[in-house]
Structure 1
Amino acid sequence: METKPGLYPAVFEVLDKCNYLDWRAQMKTYLIAQDLWEVVEGIQETPDQETNDFAFKAWSKKNSMALHVIQISCGPNSFSTIREISLAKIVWNTLAEKYTMRKTTYSGTDNNRNDSYVEYVDLYKAVRGGDWNAAKEFLRRHPDALNAKITTLGKMALHIAVVAGQEPIGEELVGQMSTEDLEILDNFGDTALNEAAVRGEYRLVQCMLKKNASLVSIGSSTQTIPLVTAITYGQIETARYLYSVTPLEDLMPEKDHNGATFLSNAIYTRNLGKNSFSNCQDIALHLVERCPQLALALGKDGNSPLLALASTPNAFPSGNRLVFWEQWIYNYCIDIQLAAPSTNEINGWNISNVENQQSYQERTIVSGIKHLYEMKLIHIQSKELLHQMCEGLSNLTIQQRQESFVNATIIRAIKNGIFEVVSGMLKADPELEWTKDGKSRRIFSIAVLHRQAKIFSLLYGLITKNAHTCHQDENGNGMLHMAGMLADSSMLNHISGAALQMQRELQWFKEIESIVHPKAKEAINKDGLTPRQLFTKTHKNLRKEGEQWMKNAATSCTVVGALIITIMFAAAFTVPGGNNQNTGLPLFLNRKWFTLFILSDALSLFSSTTSVLMFLGILTSRYAEDDFLVTLPRKMIVGFSTLFFSIATMMITFCAALSIMLSGQDWIVILIICLASVPITLFIVSQFRLLVEITISTYKADIFDKKMKPLF
């Protein structure tokens, strides 16, 4: 056969039964290059000759050229199959069906033979597109496709249904598959159940496990069982169900890491739920009760569940900051009775009962306090979980402590400020008080370094207090040196303004200085610095920032105070109604509103003057380190207080003056008084909180609880 001008065989070898895949790839490239692929693929529809004869002739020419290229590239056996076909598209599909409908056996080492799955394209499209009728028809004609790997990733049709979220088709496929088919792994070593666990396909998980319960114990390529997979990906509902059907033997630490990994993730997952009762803290508590040794077992990440608990501050009251009204509701308005599920239920966990209990709780909780209810529920569960986990600490050997990262756990809890974990671990094993970190710092020195006041207060209940206060780390830093180091920004950010941050740092230093041995005050570390020298060095920038913060605040308030002085001074000599021309006395002298007017004017003038003087004292201060402890904050408190008072009395003066002038027009007076309260309210809302913080920080009791009861 001869080719037309410009056309030549597109492949080096003509098509036969052994080289279809290579032939197909080369042929497709050639047809695309010759602008003939649209005809072969069927992208370009056949034009109607009657309505558009020119377009039909152009299409016919392309079809003939494509058909000719395919024909001259076929061997005798292949050509005989397509000899009588006149459309290039049909020729192409006929050859594909001829050479790909033989089932190809998958080989784990042959990952590059992508086109060996062409025969399953229609099934793949039908399943992914949710067309069960088309998928069912394909499976009727090719029943062996039900358990075949239909993609290059080795996934069955059921895998595809799960990935595409086609739940109805997935259930139909499960119904037709055998129990052995459900155990087939894809190229990544995952069953379809593992895929469903990743995506939280709750109904498909139930459907598969009803047919083959042993799937729950089949791990992925990383030996992770579906239960762990579900909770790792935050699929809480699916994880709850899988927990109810997973044998306890699969979670035992002697078998593998799955139990500890699941328990750790159950602790972390308390924050993943979108509604108030989707946390898995209750599952963690239940599992620890069934298998206490999991508390210190190592998970896949090399950490223990107890370490996970020490990494979740929000799981305990000490890790949550509530405003006063929230704290009141938390303490007195929410009552939770924690009841563990009966161990006589299926696998120790009855999901329906839990769901019913949660539904009842949701109905009975006022939506406004639902968040606080959930918080308190988690706190109670976490405390009970901690108690269960710490029971075996005292029986551990030194080696077991190291292997279980017990020392790292209590150090983590101190850094995170979780008082409950630290006190619980110390109660369970008093020897933990001698724990050191990698720099030979003991736990109470670490508490000082991270400014954890409540945890440090535990020291007051120990008879070994002096031994801890005299200890030095590998760099010669004692406890007072730790107080001299700048606190983490995460701790300082809870305090408003650099000046108050500097004040809190000084308070820490002074408190630690009062309890350490006098010799420790002049102790020198490896850098040749005493604690005070170290404090000055590390707090140099914070002191400058505090100075600037104080000056900015004082400057702004001085301007406001000076403006009030000017207004009130002028108002005292321009009284409402004017003066009597004969006596010089105010005309409304005997009215009660006039008395209020003149008193409030005087009070506003005197208080604003006091405020300005206080702020001027701040501006002219020397800003020494110790000034930030009491002197500067006290001036700021007096200045703010008198400024607030002067603004309030100024508005009273204004309202009293209008009442005198508009006598008998009560509705106007009331309206003006209401409007006058707006600026006072705005100013108090924006600045009063700062005044309260400065006052509390300066005059409240010691930051430590020196009456802490002994732990042991």
Structure 2
Amino acid sequence: MYPKLGVTQDHSGNYTLRILAHKPSAFPSGTKLTIWEKWIYYCVRVHSPWDSHHDKENLEMQTSSISDGHINIEVHDSSVDTGHGGLTTRVLQLVRKLGWVILKFLVPEINHMHHRKLVHVESLKLLSVVFDQMRHLSKSQLEKMDFDKIIYDSVKHGILELIKEMIKYRPDIIWREDKKGRAIFSHAIVLRQEKIFSLIYTLGTKKSIMARRHDIFKNNYLHLAAKLSPPPQLQRVSGAALQMQRELQWFKEVESIVQPKLKEEVNEYNKTPEMLFTDEHKKLAKEAESWMKSTAGSSMIVGTLIAAVMFTTAFTVPGGNRNDNGMPTMLQTQRHPFIIFMVTNALSMFSSSTSLLMFLGILTARYAEEDFLKSLPTKLIFGLTCLFFSIVTMMGSFGSALYLILHDQLSWVTIPIIILSTIPIVLFSILQFPLLIEMTNRTYGSGIFDKPKKSVFAKIQARFVGWNRFSGQH
């Protein structure tokens, strides 16, 4: 082991930290996984070669390692290796090894996830060694390393683990400013790295002190949040309306931690944060308005067609009406299928009409900046949900109508046609559901910031205390 190599230049003049700051994939925070990959990543256990140097006394664990493209399972047990206990242990080792080998062939993704997790583990251990040496470096040595650039690059690439290690080994790093007078959290706001910005909630009372800082352009934190996101961050969100919503969420979140007087403070260009936000987001606001109107307009056409068809179908029921009382003939001969037909028809009519009202509300909205935060997304979510429900019930009405007409003569045709009627539902789900789910999560989900959440008891207690104070004043 040569720990000082971590703070020594290589032949290219680079430092270990500078290289790691450009390798987000080497850390968990910079790796995007699907639900299936996350489950495999969580289940796979790795044994880093570093452990043989540091943790020899803790080798009582199951580890998986890749050797020549094969998964080898090693179980190190400090218990008695003789007798029945040793035999049982060896049998368990063999069973586990065999199980992993079988899984390796059945699920090739295991090898990939194991390698990825091993890289993450070793990167974190490398960080620990490097920062253990860095705590002894002087200010001039940090300047030589261009440490401010390392901080900026780490924030830019969203490497949460690297920033955490910096703060762990050198807590004063949170106050360190670059040439523009910006520290870690200033960079996190400008570069829109919510995971790193969320670390500010762990500072306790220092949070309010940190939130009062300014850069050399007299920008406070809210001015920085008012600036437009970098293009790579905007492109992570689909649709201009959701991009505008995300920008507003950032602005509102930073606004909640700064002092009220800072909201009206001007920078060197004589602009308040709100004025700067409006200027920076003019183009995006227009694109968001156009996107909303286009989505609502096209969806409104579909809703109108469904409503018209369902209204017409309600008065031209299969089988016609009786001459004596005008009641549908199928109501007596095929009561249950006919009731299904009428109920699904009515539900489709009502839900499509409701979606039309939602889309009409979007088209006639004032399109103020605040509307993109919740008002417009809520209308679009409700409108698309009702539209999807109207399509499902319309196909149900169509299938039951076919059954009523063909069940006596061509009953075999009914099932294939009903199955084919599910195709529009599937297509709508594939095309619109991802947008609907994303919009719902961003509007009503847990939020993009990792804030400490109060328990239900704490919220009730806070309200009770507030009520007591109010009562005491009266």
- Percent of pairs identical after alignment? 46
Of residues 680, 687, 692, the one that matches 2:437 is 692
Question: What secondary structure sits across from 2:67 in the alignment?
Answer: helix
Q: Deviations over 1:473-509 (max 9, x none)?
A: 0000111111000000101111010000000000110
Change (3 A) 1:655 1:447: same
- Aligned partners of 2:11 and 2:143: how far apart in 1? 17
Q: Which residue matches 1:391?
A: 132
d(CA) in 2 for partners of 1:594 and 1:342?
A: 74
From the superposition, tell whether residues 623 and 522 of structure 1 become closer, same or farther in structure 2 (CA, over 3 Å). Answer: same
SS in 1 for 2:9: coil
For 2:66 and 2:446, the matched residues in 1 are separated by 47
Give 1:470 deviation, angstroms. 0.5
Rounded to whole Å, the distance in 2 between the matches of 1:505 and 1:405 is: 31
* Structure 2 unaligned regions, length at least 5: 54-63, 73-99, 454-474
Query: Structure 2 vs 1, CA of residues 485 and 355 (structure 1 numbering), >3 Å: closer, same or farther?
Result: closer
Corresponding residue SS for 1:306: helix
**3-state SS of 2:323 partner:** coil
Letter aligned with residue 8 of structure 2? A
1:630 and 2:396 correspond: no
Task: Give the partner amino acid of 1:314.
Answer: S
Residue 334, structure 1, aligned to residue 29, structure 2: no
Runs of 4+ deviating beyond 4 Å: none
Residue identity in the other structure for 1:498:
A
Aligned with residue 324 of structure 2, among 543, 562, 582: 582
How do residues 429-448 of structure 1 correspond to structure 2 at under 5 angstroms?
Answer: 429-448=170-189
Q: Cα offset for 1:377?
A: 2.2
Does the Cα contact within 8 Å between 1:304 and 1:405 map onto a contact in 2?
no
Could you tell me which residue of structure 1 aligns to residue 230 of structure 2?
Answer: 488
Q: What's the secondary structure of 2:320's corresponding residue?
A: coil
Q: Distance in 2 between matches of 1:377 and 1:676?
A: 48
Shift of 1:300: 3.7
**1:323 alignment counterpart:** 34
Instruction: Tell me which amino acid in the other structure corresponds to 1:656.
Output: S
CA drift of 1:580 comes to 0.9
SS in 2 for 1:395: coil
Residue-pair matches, total:
408
Query: Which secondary structure state, in structure 1, belongs to the residue aligned with residue 116 of structure 2?
Result: helix
**1:158-180 CA-partner distances (Å, limit 9, x unpaired):** xxxxxxxxxxxxxxxxxxxxxxx
Could you say what the CA RMSD is over the residues aligned between the two structures, in angstroms?
A: 1.9
Deviates more, 1:630-639 or 1:290-299: 290-299
Aligned to 2:291: 549
TM-superposed deviation, 1:656: 0.5
What do residues 663-710 of structure 1 show as CA deviations (whole Å, max 9, x unaligned)?
2554322211211111110111110010011111111124322229xx
Find the counterpart in structure 2 of residue 308 from structure 1. Answer: 19
SS of equivalent residue, structure 1 residue 589: helix
What secondary structure does 1:392 align onto? helix
Q: Which residue of 2 aligns with 1:415?
A: 156
Match of 2:69 in 1: 359
Residue 671 of structure 1 is aligned with which of 386, 404, 416? 416
**Which structure 2 residues correspond to residues 21-420 of structure 1 after superposition, within 5 A?**
290-331=1-42, 333-340=43-50, 357-361=67-71, 364=101, 365=104, 366-420=107-161
- Residue deviations 1:528-580 (CA, integer Å, cap 9, x gap): 10111000000010000000000110110000000001110111011111111
For the Cα contact (< 8 Å) 1:303–1:405, is it kept in 2?
no
Is 1:500 aligned with 2:242?
A: yes
SS of residue paired to 1:361: strand
Tell me the residue number matched to 1:424: 165
Q: For the Cα contact (< 8 Å) 2:47–2:65, is it kept in 1?
A: no
Instruction: Extract unaligned runs of 5+ from structure 1.
Output: 1-289, 344-353
Once residues 27 and 450 of structure 2 are traced to their aligned partners in structure 1, the CA distance between those partners, rounded to angstroms, is 19
Q: Deviations over 1:571-605 (max 9, x none)?
A: 10111111112211111113210000000000000
Contact 1:297/1:404 (8 A) holds in 2: no
Task: State how far apart, in whole Å, the 1-side matches of 2:252 and 2:50 are.
Answer: 47
How far is the alpha carbon of 1:296 from its aligned partner? 1.7
Q: What is the deviation of 1:436?
A: 1.4
Q: How high is the TM-score relative to the length of structure 2?
A: 0.83
SS of the residue 2:37 aligns to: helix
